[in-house]
């Protein structure tokens, strides 16, 4: 990526989302690469464009809640190492799980962009999302994002939702969707007509399918309609020219699976985001059960309804997907239940959007207690513990945070880096996993 970063910086983008999400995990798990150094290397080149990251609220970049001291330290170090804008979301839209990250982002001078995790159900109405955005504005949002991770926001709903949010809030509004279902370009057009300020796109080389609509196509269409995108299209073309042969190499090696890269209109039925599609297919393939893919997809919305219609975004998408796989493989629904689903039903991830029925609760956790407080309120400060555990290998707070989020992978990486005897083989994996 580094050889083209300067051109990307000069192309006129509002921001480059280049960190957070799954990138941190992928760096240490597959690439033997320091994610903090990746951020610093890109920041060193990028002088004009905001660098943006995705943060899962109290989950940070991991898959569980972390104590407030860890959340604050991670936000602080992210900004100190080069992040300008932090997009913060919670899988349940439980704003209690956003407050610490929002407060920390403001405290350390970052641009705070809370996101609503868009989904559909009888409960998730336009009014529900508008009320949510007005609450986020009061909590300190500098801008707000509509995060449509499954690509299920239809053009008409996008127009109505953006119109209502713009009418009720004063901060800039961004929209993020995926092209999975084949309607993303229409959704963006109607959102722009309704007054949205920023849209998320991907360079054409890696656009479409479970990615975003193509930058060039959207920019040219909008310019033709009289909108100024502020992009230097010659620079954008250079970016595509750089990445096209890299994409072609991946294709030639069979690394772009058409089941998760091509358009899938059934997404509008199953409400499954692109990342979840690839995870499901991977799980089933590893077990020699790829032929169960469609059956699992049909089971996903049933599980989602059972557990209170959570938006299917990390970590809930993985949890619901795994439960759907278990239901199909075992032949009996909820015969096997992973710990994460049990913890969710207990309230340890936050409040479900819709109350879970007594029947389902009994099936999953029996008579165990359900908590109603903010889950992080049950956690004592954790940073001193992590510092003590990794003191032999950590040289900085950044190292400690790497270990805190991914204990095994982080310890393995730091152990190898210290050039001591550390009996962990270095895994050779293609760079395609960094995309």
DSSP 76-131: HHHHHTT--EEEE--TT--GGGTHHHHHHHHHTTPEEEEEEE---SSS--HHHHHH
Q: Indicate whether 217 and 121 sit together in one domain.
A: yes
pLDDT at 432: 36
pLDDT at 315: 86
Q: Indicate whether 249 and 286 sit together in one domain.
A: no
Q: Which domain holds residue 341?
A: 272-373
Q: How far apart are CA 186 and CA 191, in angstroms?
A: 9
Query: In the predicted model, is pLDDT for residue 279 greater than 80?
Result: no
Q: Indicate whether 197 and 279 sit together in one domain.
A: no
Query: How many other C-beta atoms can be found within 10 angstroms of the C-beta atom of residue 414?
Result: 21
> How would residue 253 be classed by pLDDT, with cut points 50, 70 and 90?
confident
Across the range 21-26, mean pLDDT stands at 94
Query: In the predicted model, is pLDDT for residue 208 greater than 60?
Result: yes
Query: In the predicted model, is pLDDT for residue 309 greater than 80?
Result: yes
Q: Indicate whether 166 and 109 sit together in one domain.
A: yes
Report the percentage of the chain scoring pLDDT > 90: 80
Evaluate whether residue 121 is within a structural domain.
yes
> How would residue 38 be classed by pLDDT, with cut points 50, 70 and 90?
very high
Across the range 28-36, mean pLDDT stands at 95
Query: In the predicted model, is pLDDT for residue 159 greater than 50?
Result: yes
In eight-state DSSP terms, residue 218 is: H
Across the range 57-79, mean pLDDT stands at 96
Query: In the predicted model, is pLDDT for residue 261 greater than 80?
Result: no
Evaluate whether residue 247 is within a structural domain.
yes
As a whole number, the mean pLDDT across the chain is 92
Q: Which residue has the higher pLDDT, 66 or 430?
A: 66
Q: Indicate whether 209 and 140 sit together in one domain.
A: yes
The CATH number for 323's domain is: 1.10.472.90
The mean-pLDDT minimum among 127-131, 181-185, 314-318, 328-332 falls in 314-318
Give how far Cα 358 sits from Cα of 281, 355, 364, Å.
Answer: 32, 9, 10
Number of domains in the chain: 2
Q: Indicate whether 230 and 131 sit together in one domain.
A: yes
- Burial label for 92, CB within 10 Å (0-12, 13-18, 19+), is buried
Three-state DSSP class for 59? Answer: helix
Give how far Cα 332 sits from Cα of 62, 303, 323, 325, 335, Å.
Answer: 30, 13, 11, 11, 6
Q: What is the signed CA dihedral for 130, 132, 135, 137, rounded to 10 degrees?
A: -70
Cβ neighbours for 5, distance < 8 A, ≥ 6 positions apart: 42, 45, 46
Query: In the predicted model, is pLDDT for residue 395 greater than 60?
Result: yes
Across the range 388-393, mean pLDDT stands at 96
Q: How far apart are CA 310 and CA 301, in angstroms?
A: 10
For 3-14, write each residue's pLDDT tens digit. Answer: 999 999 999 999
Q: How far apart are CA 176 and CA 78, in angstroms?
A: 22
pLDDT at 268: 81
DSSP 288-306: T-GGGHHHHHHHHHHHHHH
pLDDT at 274: 64
């Amino acid at each position: 990526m580094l050889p083209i970063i300067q051109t990307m910086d000069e192309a006129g983008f509002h921001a480059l989302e280049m960190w957070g999400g799954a990138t941190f995990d992928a760096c240490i798990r597959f690439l033997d690469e320091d994610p903090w150094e990746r951020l610093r290397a890109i920041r060193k080149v990028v002088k004009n464009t905001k660098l943006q990251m995705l943060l899962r609220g109290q989950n940070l970049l991991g898959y569980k809640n972390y104590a407030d001291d860890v959340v604050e330290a991670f936000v602080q170090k992210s900004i100190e190492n080069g992040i300008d804008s932090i997009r913060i979301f919670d899988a349940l839209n439980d704003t209690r799980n956003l407050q610490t990250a929002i407060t920390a982002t403001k405290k350390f001078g970052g641009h705070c962009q809370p996101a609503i995790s868009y989904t559909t159900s009888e409960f998730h109405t336009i009014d529900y999302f508008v009320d949510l955005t007005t609450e986020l504005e009061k909590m300190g949002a500098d801008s707000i994002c509509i995060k449509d991770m499954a690509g299920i926001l239809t053009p008409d709903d996008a127009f109505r939702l953006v119109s209502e949010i713009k009418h009720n809030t004063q901060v800039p509004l961004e929209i993020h969707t995926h092209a999975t279902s084949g309607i993303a370009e229409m959704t963006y057009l109607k959102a722009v007509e309704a007054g949205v300020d920023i849209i998320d796109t991907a360079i054409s080389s890696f656009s479409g399918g479970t990615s975003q609509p193509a930058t060039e196509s959207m920019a040219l269409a909008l310019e033709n309609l009289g909108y100024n995108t502020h992009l230097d299209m010659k620079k954008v073309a250079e970016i595509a020219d750089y990445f096209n042969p890299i994409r072609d190499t991946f294709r030639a090696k069979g690394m772009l699976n058409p089941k998760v890269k091509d358009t899938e209109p059934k997404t509008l039925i199953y409400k499954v985001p692109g990342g979840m599609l690839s995870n499901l297919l991977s799980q089933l393939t590893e077990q020699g059960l790829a032929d169960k893919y469609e059956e699992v997809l049909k089971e996903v919305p049933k599980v989602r309804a059972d557990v209170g219609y959570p938006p299917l975004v990390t970590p809930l998408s993985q949890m619901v997907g795994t439960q759907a796989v278990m239901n199909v493989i075992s032949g009996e629904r909820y015969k096997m239940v992973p710990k994460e689903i049990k913890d969710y039903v207990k309230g340890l991830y936050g409040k479900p959007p819709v109350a879970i029925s007594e029947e389902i609760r009994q099936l999953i956790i029996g008579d165990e207690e359900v908590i109603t407080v903010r889950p992080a309120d049950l956690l004592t400060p954790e940073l001193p513990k992590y510092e003590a555990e990794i003191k032999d290998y950590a040289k900085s707070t950044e190292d400690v945070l790497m270990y805190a989020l991914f204990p095994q992978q982080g310890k393995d990486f730091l152990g190898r880096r210290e050039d001591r005897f550390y009996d962990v083989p270095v895994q050779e994996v293609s760079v395609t996993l960094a995309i």
